[in-house]
Amino acid sequence: MQKFLIVDDNTEQSSTVLKNIKLELAKLNVVFEVEAIFPFVDPNMYNEYITANNVCVVILDEKLNERANPAGTTVNYMGHNLVTLLREKEKDLPIYTITNYGADADVQNIYSEYDHIINRNDFYDHTDKYVPIMVRAAQKFSERSAEDLSEFNDLARQIAGGNNDPKLIEKLKALQTKLELPFTGFDDRKNWLDAYEKEIAELETLKTKLTQKINGK
């Protein structure tokens, strides 16, 4: 099932946000999981987590470095740092921040990286406005992801079937990048086939020479 992920070092705060989202989702009669997590000490763990847990919306607090986790460790990055990191790989993933520090220069400087910067008090007052926006964004994200996968599948089949149209190959490369699929290099494939055919041709030539040698005895 798809998931809304809340990242916040303040568990009281995140649980209140979580409850509000769940209540609103129930009213909208849509099914999404909602989870609140403490920020990872290693920020590189997020991408894997997002993929593995089918996360379709991320909601961040800004001041992530204040409270210690149960192991007594605090993280050394803030919400705006995390957004920049996530955007390196997740161009389309809906990312929101719910914070009282939306006006801070750090956040404003990367305004375009967020889908929305939501004032915390405003969120509590107007949950019924914000959650539907998040739901729509999540649904669009999921649809696009499914469409992209389907298109990738089609293109891969065509190229594997021998269609060497450069435009198709370009499109496939782009989709590979977007979907973070391993890059198989179709130019390489052609070169490999050419090399393979050349090897075969050389072997054929060798075979002819050997036959001639044997027969010429």
Which residues sit at the interface with other proteins, rule CB under 8 A? 10, 12-13, 16-17, 19-20, 23, 63, 65-68, 72, 74, 76-78, 81, 100-101, 104-106, 120-121, 123-125
CB of 80 to other proteins, least distance (A): 10
Phi, psi for residue 116 in degrees, rounded to 5: -160, 140
Q: Is residue 7 a contact partner of residue 64, using CB atoms and an 8 Å limit?
A: yes
Least spacing, CB of residue 23 vs other proteins, in Å: 5
Pair of tokens at residue 89: 């790989």
Cβ 137 to other proteins, closest distance in Å? Answer: 22
Nearer to other proteins, 72 or 161 (CB): 72
When the beta carbons of 127 and 139 are compared against other proteins, the nearer one is: 127
| Of 23 and 195, CB closest to other proteins | 23
How far apart are CB 49 and other proteins at their closest, in Å? 21
Give the count of alpha carbons within 13 A of 82, CB side only: 27
User: Measured from the CB atom, is 69 or 158 closer to other proteins?
Assistant: 69
Helix, strand, coil tally for the chain in percent (to 5): 60, 10, 30
CA distance 97 to 18: 13
**Which structure tokens are listed for 61?**
């607090």
